[in-house]
Amino acid sequence: MDLAQALASLPANPRVVVTGNHATPWHTVKLVDDALDEYRLWALNGQPQLPDREGVVLETSFVGPGQRKSPRLSYVPSRLSMVPSLFGKQLPPDAVVIHTTPPRDGKVSLGVEVNVLPAAIEATRRNGGLVIAQVNHNMPWTFGDALVDLDQIDVLIDADEPMPTAPVSAIDETSARIGQLVAERVSDGSTLQAGIGAVPDATMHGLTSRSGLRVWTEMFSDSVLALEKIGALDRNIPISASFLFGSPELLEWVDGNERVEMVRTEVTNDPGRIARNPKMVSVNTALQVDLFGQANASRINARIHSGFGGQTDFIVGAMHSAGGQAFLALRSWHPKANCSTVVPMVDEPITSFQMSAIVTEQGLATVFGNDQREQARQIIEHAAHPSVREELREEAVALGLA
């Protein structure tokens, strides 16, 4: 089927789901944008270059830099594990634009980005909508839920473009200290949720002496490859993730690698599935935490900055895992805003709460299992920046926490 003919068959103001994060098929997105006057463009963590014009509503449950400041942003709050159910009910897609490998044996691979796409494809097929694939020879071939039968795709568009990569950067001293504090509490045989960023990377670097580690995560980067290289991971258990982003070396390593199992979001982020992993360790971050152990990781001045993402899914799953731990790791002082990240009471909508511990470069504050006064004392004494501890003690008294 011709793309123009296929798009002409869509209803007025259709909802188009497109591969997000760092795997957006830019060539095909432009073709779609040129063909449709009005539509709703649903993308997870949309990157710069997304069409942002009159007639296009930027719809998402996790806001990226290409959507954040748009007056046409439509943010739909949802835990990431629940987004697939939105496609089946409240937000049915009329078309899906995916980014794939060339076909092999009647299938293509979604490569580095599986995430919510299998659910979007299934919902679109049920609705009689369109599935459009941009075929890119540079996309790594991955397995598991990444594989899509060709008979599920209506239009194939050949368009090679480079895959985005992330430089492997040096870990700063503050991140290294936070990572060390978390790593010290991770034992052999633990299962890791490994994200991207300086603190997760620092945590992984602190685990080089461990053995039998497993990975069950929403996404991973080069820090997992580093653990694989030194033999710290259990070779009998696949590395399970929903998407990945990293260096050219990482993309080369995952290409055709059956060690890596790409899994759809409603499985990777299902708290019940997460809880089945032994000694699950979840490491997430936040913009602010307060003396009640509440965290804001998604809003600034009440405006949406990102979203729930997988934080709530993994905190709950890890806390229910046998021997599991959920850490919230962040700097004690916000360098750009020049203020404490530990506040008396978060005044933004809450993203998460009741984790095992809050970790900053100042130390580790044990949260779960303590009464609220001891929680507050731990956070003040072990997580807060020394310059604000006295003020926080006074606020704790006013809040009935001391």
Q: Which CATH architecture has domain 3-158?
A: 3-Layer(aba) Sandwich (3.40)
Identify the CATH number of the domain defined by range 173-398.
3.40.1080.20
Among candidates 53, 87, 95, which has minimal Cα distance to 70? Answer: 53
Determine the residue type at 207: L
Query: Residue 316 has what pLDDT?
Result: 97
Judge if 3-158 and 173-398 fold alike in CATH terms.
yes
Query: Residue 194 has what pLDDT?
Result: 75
Query: Residue 58 has what pLDDT?
Result: 98
The predicted-structure confidence for 85-126, as pLDDT tens digits, reads as follows 999 999 999 999 999 999 999 999 999 999 999 999 999 999
Is pLDDT above 80 for 302? yes
Determine the residue type at 28: T
For residue 100, give every residue at least 6 positions away whose Cβ sits within 8 Å of its Cβ, in sequence order, or none. Answer: 108, 109, 110, 111, 133, 134, 135, 136, 139, 148
Written as one string, the DSSP assignment of 246-313 is --HHHHHHHTT-TTEEE--HHHHT-HHHHHTSTTEEEEE--SEEETTSEEE-SEETTEESS--TTHHH
Q: Which two tokens stand for residue 291?
A: 């003396």
Q: Are 320 and 309 in contact (CB under 8 A)?
A: no
Which residue is it, tokens 């045989």?
189
pLDDT classification of 9: cutoffs 50, 70, 90: very high
As annotated, the active-site residues are 218
Q: Which two tokens stand for residue 391?
A: 């003020």
Query: Residue 133 has what pLDDT?
Result: 98
Q: Beta-carbon neighbour count of residue 219 at 10 Å?
A: 24
Residue 29 CA neighbour count, 13 Å, CB half: 24
Is pLDDT above 90 for 267? yes
Summarize the confidence of residues 169-175 as an average pLDDT: 88
pLDDT classification of 67: cutoffs 50, 70, 90: very high
Q: Are 244 and 195 in contact (CB under 8 A)?
A: no
For a pLDDT cut of 90, what percent of the chain falls above it? 91
Of 2 and 41, more confident: 41
Q: Are 184 and 205 in contact (CB under 8 A)?
A: no
pLDDT classification of 226: cutoffs 50, 70, 90: very high
Element (H, E) at 230: helix 222-230
| Distance between first and last Cα of the chain | 69
Please report, for the chain, the start and end positions of each structural domain, with discontinuous segments joined by +.
3-158, 173-398
Q: Are 126 and 93 in contact (CB under 8 A)?
A: no
pTM of the model: 0.95
pLDDT classification of 169: cutoffs 50, 70, 90: confident
